[in-house]
Amino acid sequence: MKCKVLNRKDHELDLNNNNNMNTITFDKLLLQTAFCCMACDGEIAPEEVTLIKTICDKESMLKNMDFKAEIDRFVTDINAGGKQLLADFLKTLEQKSAALSKQEQFALIDIAIKVIKADNKIEYSEIKFFKTIRYRLKVSDDEIMAHFFTTVEDIEWFLGEDIHTATTLEKITQQYLDLADLPQFEEIII
């Protein structure tokens, strides 16, 4: 089942517990999810960039976004701070997951899975990163299976149990961030 992205461009997620000076719109959170899933394996594949660009061109809430400027900003941020961009994204997602509707959570999962699969090469680092996203959301594994997975292999890869508690999640997240080797990325040519 394809998950339709909500047309809620103006939906802002407060990043600092009701301090409206630091908010992120859902469309930017969606694009950041895609970018982080694209970069988490240390490689930005052309197929991933093409997929994200196509999604931005087709989805009504992303059409007016300056895709090139946003992606360039993410590349600059990840090159300057390395894994800190990924850690900040995960922290934001954890803090704001309760404010996301079920449909918005499905949209984040949908784009994450599509980007991870886009280059037809699924790395364990991508699966591990996906699981750190998944466990920050409130939708159940059964709901995810019903919407996104048709093969046992996908279910085992993407939803296999290896994160059980918040403490374990923190350890897995830190382990991923400690072991991930992110290069300096080149400018993305579109």
The model's pLDDT over 54-107, given as tens digits with 9 standing for 90+, comes to: 988 888 777 778 888 999 999 999 999 989 999 999 999 999 888 999 999 999
**CA 29 – CA 24 distance, rounded (Å):** 7
Ramachandran class of 183: left when φ > 0, alpha when ψ lies in -120 to 50, beta otherwise: beta
Backbone phi and psi for residue 149, each to the nearest 5 degrees, phi listed first: -115, 135
pLDDT in the model for residue 179: 76
What pTM was computed for the model? 0.74
**CA 166 – CA 189 distance, rounded (Å):** 39
- For residue 115, give both structure tokens: 């980007």
pLDDT in the model for residue 150: 66
Question: Could you read off the pLDDT of 1-45 as tens digits, one per residue?
Answer: 343 333 444 444 443 334 433 577 899 999 999 999 999 999 999
Where do we find the tokens 């409130």? 138
What count of other Cβ atoms lies within 10 Å of the Cβ of residue 55? 19
